[in-house]
Structure 1
Amino acid sequence: MHRIAGALALTLLLAACGGPSESDSHAEGGHGEHAETQQPAKGEHGGRLLEKDGYTVELGIAEDGAPPRFQAWLYRDGKPLPPSAGSVEVRLKRLGNIAENHALKAQADGSLMAATVVGEPHSFDVDVVANVDGTNLRWTYPSYEGRTAIPAKIAQDAGIRVATAGAGTIADEHEVQGLLTPIEGRIAKVTARFPGPVRRLTVNAGDTVRAGQALASIESNLSLTTYTVASPISGVVLARNAAVGSVASDAAPLFEVADLSSLWVDLHVFGSDAQHIRAGVPVEITRLSDGATAQTTLERVLPGTATASQSTVARATIANADGLWRPGSAVKARITVDQQPAALVVPLAALQTFRDWDVVFVRVGDTYEVRPVELGKRDAQRVEVLSGLKPGDQVVVEQSYLVKADIEKSGASHDH
């Protein structure tokens, strides 16, 4: 529902500001910003017909089972000419003022074809320079796909955010569950020194106490005098097992006091994952109640196996100064076993699918355009980009689905 509402809001904002609409979005090879209102004429090979002074160049992109390349056929007065009758060069200007040239050479099949590949997306301003029978010819036109324009204010209001693509690290991480427990040796069971009736209790379960603070008064059965039972440590009263008038003994604890300023996190690791986890690696602990996180380091991997779960227990310690981490609570954790540097990474939130590609969206000014990317390793937060993007590109990292929706709303095509 949130995504539908977001996409609808962006559509309404664009409509209010006179943004791109379906009626002005179609062009050869795609749709989007500055696109033409009519489809260009096509030749017998399916390419675009460029006509001037009785000469025609039919220009297309050959994509049949091979990397896409520009291909052209020459005509004079509607009749085919051999490829040796002329030359064709296609000069492209991609988003961000990136120039790209493709020189076409004569082929045995009667066409001219470039040796260079036309990378995706096929979205550019086209400048075709030809010489046929000694006559110089030139055509310019836009051919956009996977592109849209969103004014800055509308993008900001829709929550669309960008970040600069650059180097980073990809982590080898293991997601595990765990349990918070008091640290061994920091729990005190407070008992009466001498048996006798409880005359006074001064604290309740949950109270914070300091070392030496009085917890109860007991009347000794031996001396008939009253003595004080004090807390041996500073901490929190976990349990009070006495009532005024009850008889205390030196066998049953009256109170249980624990120092909870730090806690153990016992993490349960299953199967072969246990073979990769070693002490000293970083751990991020997440509190399930509110999503709060704490960073710590794995201290040890216990030698035994938990009987009930048949898991290996890996232990870390977290600070608990605010007391919001509670013993007995379940937590989840991310153990980072290794980190590998990567030349180029983007957040997972930047990824979308477009046709059959994995893509991100790049912003230049107020224009957004699809970038098919080849992906490498990934972790829970980011993914390595092997090709399709360059350092410094401004990549949409929040609400990228809104950009995709705006591009697709007019029916993006890929017709060359």
Structure 2
Amino acid sequence: MKPTHLIPALALALSLAACGGDSDQPAKDTPADETADHGTEADDHGHEAGEVASTVIPAEIAEKSGIKTRPVGPGVIADEHEVQGLLTAVDGRVAQISARFPGPIRSLRANAGDQVRAGQTLATIESNLSLSTYSVTAPISGVIVERNASVGGLASEGTPLFEIADLSQLWVDLHIFGADAQHIQPGVPVTVTRMSDGETLLTTLERVLPGMATASQSTVARATIDNTDSQWRPGTAVKARITVAQQPVDLVVPLTALQSMDGREAVFVREGETYQARHVELGVRDATQVQILSGLSVGEEVVVAESYLIKADIGKEGAAHEH
């Protein structure tokens, strides 16, 4: 059990113990011969053959424990490829600024990290040719990513003083290995995830580059992301899911709904405050959900969060029946 769920799980167990049901009632006397003649088999959880495994959890306790349900319905199963990549500045959105004429630098008016606009003065230089001072201005709007100058230093003709990048958009270069490259074409959806905090955004694959990345021997697929909030930084490693195809299906549940019961996959269906285990036959799946072939009907309420608490409580009830 995950540590973050210890308190809800303990609260659920204590509350259900307090709600006890019939567990404290004395068992009725059963003649020995009747027991011998009409014995029943029990499953791994102590439930008699043919008995439906279920438990009752008051709504207030379910809410405090984080148990959530969702109606079963149609959905789309995605054929996805998990890849990694790197954010880079977009070609044509980076500019290097040099001195037009050599001479000493008289002033600097911007530092690395500053946002500047096109035409803004970045430095003044005294020309060795005319002995007059001229201004060096920004050719594009963006952020200064490098400054290679100091006041009083000598600016040589053609030597970059500043580098400016427009980072309002970035390229995502994704590395695809082996045969996966044959299945990935431009125009498909891509979900990009920032590794530092899990933030995601959706974009579209624009092109698959013709060459191979020399170091990794991978095919590079490229997409563009919006970065107007400046939260995505060039050089950052990211992961992504490239959706190659999508298959509509009649019934889906999230993977979080599944639990193993008696060696088979099961979900828990809620009716009022009763949670009933239901064995299901599974079809295709993706990273987050799975197709249901049989065992459920459209509209039934299925537990999609903290389903393991339901399994644990049914197991506890089964153990009580064994005694």
Same fold (TM over 0.5): yes
Decide whether the 8 Å contact of 1:197 with 1:219 is kept in 2: yes
Which residue in 2 is equivalent to 1:325? 232
Structure-1 separation of matches of 2:4 and 2:130: 73
Matched, 1:312 2:241: no
1:213 corresponds to: 120
**Are 2:10 and 1:8 equivalent residues in the alignment?**
yes
Specify the alignment match of 2:277 in structure 1: 370
Match status 1:357 vs 2:264 = yes
Q: Which has the higher helix share?
A: 2
Larger radius of gyration: 1
Gap change, CA 1:331 and 1:21, over 3 Å in 2: farther
Read off the aligned partner of 1:160 and give its amino acid letter. I
Deviation at 1:19, TM superposition (A): 4.2
CA distance in 1 between counterparts of 2:203 and 2:268 reads: 35
Alignment length, in residue pairs?
Answer: 314
Within the candidate set 297, 308, 327, 2:204 is matched to 297
| Pairwise CA distance, 1:409 | 1.4
Provide the secondary structure at the position in 2 that maps to 1:389: coil
- CA distance in structure 2 between the aligned counterparts of 1:42 and 1:373, rounded to whole angstroms: 33
Equivalent pair of 1:146/1:412 in contact (CA under 8 Å):
no
CA contact (8 A) 1:22 1:409 kept: no
Given the alignment of the two structures, is residue 170 of structure 1 paired with residue 77 of structure 2, yes or no?
yes
Deviation per CA, 1:242-279: give whole Å up to 9, x if none: 00011011222000000000000000011111111000
5+ residue gaps in structure 1? 25-35, 48-59, 64-121, 125-142
CA distance in 2, matches of 1:306, 1:270: 10
Q: Percent identity of the aligned residues? A: 61
What RMSD in Å do the two structures reach over aligned CA positions?
A: 2.4
3-state DSSP of counterpart to 2:239:
strand
3-state SS of paired residue (2:16): helix
- Out of 372, 376, 379, which is 2:286 matched to? 379
| One-letter amino acid of the structure 2 residue matched with residue 9 of structure 1 | A
TM-score, normalised with respect to structure 2? 0.91
In structure 2, the CA distance between the partners of 1:149 and 1:37, relative to structure 1 (3 Å rule), is farther
Q: What is the deviation of 1:2?
A: 2.6
Could you tell me which amino acid in structure 1 is paired with residue 11 of structure 2?
Answer: A
Gaps of 5+ in 2: none
Report the alpha carbon displacement of residue 316 of structure 1 after superposing the two structures with TM. 0.2
Deviation at 1:39, TM superposition (A): 9.4
Q: Distance in 2 between matches of 1:413 and 1:394?
A: 27
> CA 1:19–1:191 in 2, change beyond 3 Å: closer, same or farther?
farther
> Residue 245 of structure 2 aligns to a residue in which SS?
strand
Q: Aligned partners of 1:289, 1:324: CA distance in 2, in Å?
A: 11
Q: Match of 1:199?
A: 106
Q: Which amino acid aligns with 1:298?
A: L
TM-score, length of structure 1 as denominator length = 0.71
C-alpha contact 1:214 1:231 (8 A) present in aligned 2: yes
